[in-house]
Chain A
Amino acid sequence: MLKLDSVCTRYGNIYALKGVSIHVNEGEIVTIIGANGAGKSTTLNTISGIVRSVSGSVFFNGADITSMPTEKIVESGLIQVPEGREIFPLLTVYENLILGAYLRKDKAAVAKDVEYVTGLFPRLSERFKQLGGTLSGGEQQMLAIARALMSKPKLLLMDEPSLGLSPIYVQNIFSVIKEINKEGTAVLLVEQNANMALSVASRGYVMETGKIIMEDKASNLLDNESVRAAYLGI
Chain B
Amino acid sequence: METIVQQLLNGLTVGGIYALIALGYTMVYGIIKLINFAHGDIFMVGAFVGLLAVNLIADSFIVAVLAAVVFCGFLGIFVEKVAYRPLRENSPKVVITSALGLMLIILLAVFARGDVAGIVSSGTFWIGAVLILAVMFWLIRGRVSGRNKNGNSRINALISAIGMSIVISNMVMLLNGPQREVYPRLLPDYSFSAGPFHISALQLFIIAVSFVLMYLLYYIVHKTKTGLAMRAVSHNLNAARLMGINPDRIISFTFLIGSCLAAVAGVLVGTYYNIADPNVGMMYGLKAFVAAVLGGIGSIPGAVVGGIVLGVAEVMGVAFISPSFRDAIAFGILIFILIVKPTGLFGTKMKEKV
> What is A's interface to B at a CB cutoff of 8 Å?
48, 50, 69-71, 74-75, 79-80, 82, 86-91, 95, 98-100, 102-103, 147, 151
22 residue pairs A–B, Cβ–Cβ below 8 Å? A48-B242, A50-B241, A50-B242, A69-B241, A69-B246, A71-B241, A74-B241, A74-B243, A82-B242, A86-B238, A86-B239, A86-B242, A90-B231, A91-B228, A91-B232, A95-B228, A98-B228, A99-B240, A99-B243, A102-B243, A102-B245, A103-B244
Given known A-B contacts A69-B246, A71-B246, A99 and B232 have beta carbons under 8 A apart: yes
Query: Which B residues are in CB contact (< 8 Å) with A102?
Result: 225, 229, 243-245
Size category of the B interface is 10 to 19
Set of chain A residues within 8 Å of B243, measured between Cβ atoms: 74, 99-100, 102-103, 147, 151
B45 to chain A, nearest CB (A): 32
CB distance from B303 to the nearest CB of A (A): 17
- CB contacts (< 8 Å) of B246 on chain A: these are 69, 71
Q: Using a CB-CB cutoff of 8 Å, which residues 205-261 of chain B contact chain A?
A: 225, 228-229, 231-232, 235-236, 238-246
Q: Which of A82, A95, A98 is B239 in contact with, Cβ under 8 Å?
A: A82
Residues B241 and A70 in contact, CB atoms below 8 Å apart: yes
A82 to B236, CA, bound (A): 12
- The one of A50, A75, A91 in contact with B231, judged by C-beta atoms closer than 8 angstroms, is A91
Task: Report B's interface with A, CB cutoff 8 A.
Answer: 225, 228-229, 231-232, 235-236, 238-246
Summarize B's interface: helix, strand, loop or mixed.
helix
- Sample of 11 further A-B pairs with CB below 8 A, known A70-B241, A87-B239, A102-B244: A50-B242, A71-B245, A74-B244, A79-B242, A80-B242, A86-B238, A89-B235, A90-B231, A91-B235, A95-B228, A98-B228
Is A151 within 8 A of B232, CB to CB? Answer: no
Tell me the nearest residue of chain A to B351, going by C-beta. Answer: A89
Residues on A with C-beta less than 8 A from B232 are 88, 91, 99
Q: How far is the CA of A80 from the CA of B239 in the complex (A)?
A: 9
A173 to B84, CA, bound (A): 42
Shortest distance from the beta carbon of B281 to any chain A beta carbon, whole Å: 33
Per CB-CB distance, the 4 closest pairs between chain A and chain B, nearest first, are A74-B244, A86-B239, A103-B244, A70-B241
Bound complex: CA A95 to CA B243 (Å): 12
A90 x B235 contact (CB < 8 A): yes
Query: Is there an interface contact between A88 and B238, defined as CB atoms closer than 8 Å?
Result: no
CB neighbours (8 Å) of B229 from chain A are 99, 102
Instruction: Let me know if A88 and B242 touch, CB within 8 A.
Output: no
The CA of A75 and the CA of B229, in the complex, are separated in Å by 15
- Smallest Cβ distance from A163 to chain B, in angstroms? 16
State how many angstroms separate the Cβ of A70 from the closest Cβ of chain B: 4
Contacts of B231 in A (CB 8 A): 88, 90-91, 95
Q: How far is the CB of B53 from chain A (nearest CB, A)?
A: 37
B214 to chain A, nearest CB (A): 20
A147 contact set on B, CB distance < 8 A: 243
Specify the chain A residue showing the minimal Cβ separation from B222: A95
Are B236 and A88 neighbours in the complex by a CB distance under 8 Å? yes
Closest to B241 in A: A70
Contacts of B240 in A (CB 8 A): 99
Q: Which residues of A contact B238 (CB under 8 A)?
A: 50, 82, 86
- Shortest C-beta distance, B147 to chain A (Å), equals 11
